[in-house]
Amino acid sequence: MTAVSQEGTRREQAGAGLSIEDLHVRFSGARVLDGLSLAVAPGEIVGLAGRNGAGKTTTLRAVSGLAARSRGVISLDGVPLPARPEAVARAGVAHVPEGRGIFADLTVEENIRLGIVRKVPAERTLRGALEEAFPAVVRLRDQKAGRLSGGEQQMVALFRGLIGSPRVLLVDEMSLGLSPRALRTAIEALAALGRAHGIGVLVVDQNSRMLHEHCDRVHLLGDGRVRLWEDASDIASAYFE
């Protein structure tokens, strides 16, 4: 067996998509994540919920290399991800941060171009599909991003995150500042694009109803670890136990 075929076999055995195993993160000696493990398969939409301060944002930042990992392995398609943000992005992980990370003084089109961080064949870019899913972004492409509404900025952030055809998209607090209508439009478009193009999506949000309606499964983060949250109506025990 050649070295190339051996590598391919190892990747198939390890499993495709994002895998987080026994992740530990500490800040100033305080435990934030304590053995967190979860996986996101290609085309799967996974939700991550939890009370404020549980470590949801830290989880995404650890995956994308923005937070130091004390212990654990994070892999993409069976290959361990490096701990450097630029290397993680080039490997195929895109991150839409809380607050969207829009550059107010740049145009919409200039913001979108910042999402192309790795070489992708022209036939694999998602621009056509994204323009169909987010027509408002096309209409506003020459506008300064800082002049857009919160819903419009969220569309731009998702467009930018997906434009480079990532293997995995991380989205932090998508519902923040959005009207129910704008949120529904954004999550429905995101879920449809992810499933159609084999992009795994990990969505962190306080809006548990939205997560349960649109995700394939939802995990609840508490005490530094996650558990599957199957009963969407059990809000009290999920957040206050």
How far apart are the C-alpha atoms of 73 and 71, rounded to whole Å? 7
How far apart are the C-alpha atoms of 80 and 82, rounded to whole Å? 6
Are the C-beta atoms of residues 188 and 196 closer than 8 Å to each other?
no
The pLDDT, as a whole number, for residue 99 is 87
Question: For every one of its 241 residues, what pLDDT tens digit does the chain have, with 9 covering 90 and above?
Answer: 344 434 443 444 446 999 999 999 998 878 899 999 999 999 999 999 999 899 999 999 999 999 999 999 999 999 999 999 999 999 999 999 998 899 999 999 999 999 988 776 655 678 899 999 999 999 999 999 999 998 899 999 999 999 989 999 999 999 988 889 989 999 999 999 999 999 999 999 989 999 999 999 999 999 999 999 987 666 645 554 5
The pLDDT, as a whole number, for residue 15 is 64
The pLDDT, as a whole number, for residue 240 is 47
The pLDDT, as a whole number, for residue 229 is 92
Task: Give the residue among 194, 210, 119, 121 at the shortest CA–CA distance from 162.
Answer: 194
Cα 235 to chain centroid, rounded: 24
116-124 LR contacts (CB < 8 Å, sep 24+): 116/163, 116/164, 117/86, 117/89, 117/90, 117/164, 118/89, 118/90, 118/91, 118/92, 118/164, 120/164, 120/165, 124/165
The pLDDT, as a whole number, for residue 11 is 40
Are the C-beta atoms of residues 67 and 93 closer than 8 Å to each other?
no
Residues paired with 45 in a beta bridge: 201
Q: Looking at 72-139, list the stretches that DSSP marks H as alpha helix, in order from N- to C-terminal side.
A: 85-91, 108-113, 127-133, 135-139
Other C-beta atoms closer than 10 Å to the C-beta of 25 total 22
Return the ∠ at Cα 203 (arms to 200 and 209), rounded to 5°. Answer: 125
Cα–Cα separations (whole angstroms), residue 237 to 73, 234, 240: 30, 6, 5
Task: Give the residue among 60, 54, 52 at the shortest CA–CA distance from 34.
Answer: 54
Domains belonging to the chain, first-starting first, are 16-240 (3.40.50.300)
User: What pTM value is reported for the model?
Assistant: 0.88
